[in-house]
Amino acid sequence: MAWVILLLAAACEVVWAIALKKSDGFTHLGYGVTAVVFMIISLSLLGVAMKSLPAGTAYAVWTGLGAFGAALLGMMVLGEDRGLGRVVSLALVLAGVVGLKYFTPEVPAGETAARQHKP
């Protein structure tokens, strides 16, 4: 469940990043408010996910997927550069996120990630 929450947090990060861009320096109130609301939601969901996932993994996945999604939408919706170098770099970010998911051990139910690693 923590991974699902983390994916939702990353999706919210994508929303706020695009809304922040569209707010044009907070000169468009609706986009600015949307950005702030989704920032709060995203950070809150990240905090919940971190109860069960290692902090480094959760943060890296959150920022990685957020960056990947924002860059992808930027290319698709905002007309940003789609050069080969950018696409390859985004693929590497996604590969890193998948690797973190694959190599992060599951935390037993009822046990937090912090307690799992204490002697």
| pLDDT number for residue 19 | 97
Tell me how far apart the alpha carbons of residues 100 and 2 are, in angstroms, rounded to a whole number. 14
Whether this prediction's pTM lies above 0.85 is answered by no
Query: How many C-beta atoms lie closer than 10 Å to residue 10's C-beta?
Result: 25
| pLDDT number for residue 80 | 92
> Distance of CA 7 to CAs 10, 12, 81, 86, Å?
5, 9, 26, 23
Q: Both ends of the chain: CA-CA distance in Å? A: 25
| pLDDT number for residue 110 | 59
| pLDDT number for residue 105 | 74
| pLDDT number for residue 115 | 56
| pLDDT number for residue 118 | 52
Tell me how far apart the alpha carbons of residues 62 and 49 are, in angstroms, rounded to a whole number. 10
Series of mean pLDDT values for 10-residue runs along the chain (119 residues): 95 97 96 98 96 92 95 94 94 94 73 55
Q: DSSP label at 104?
A: S
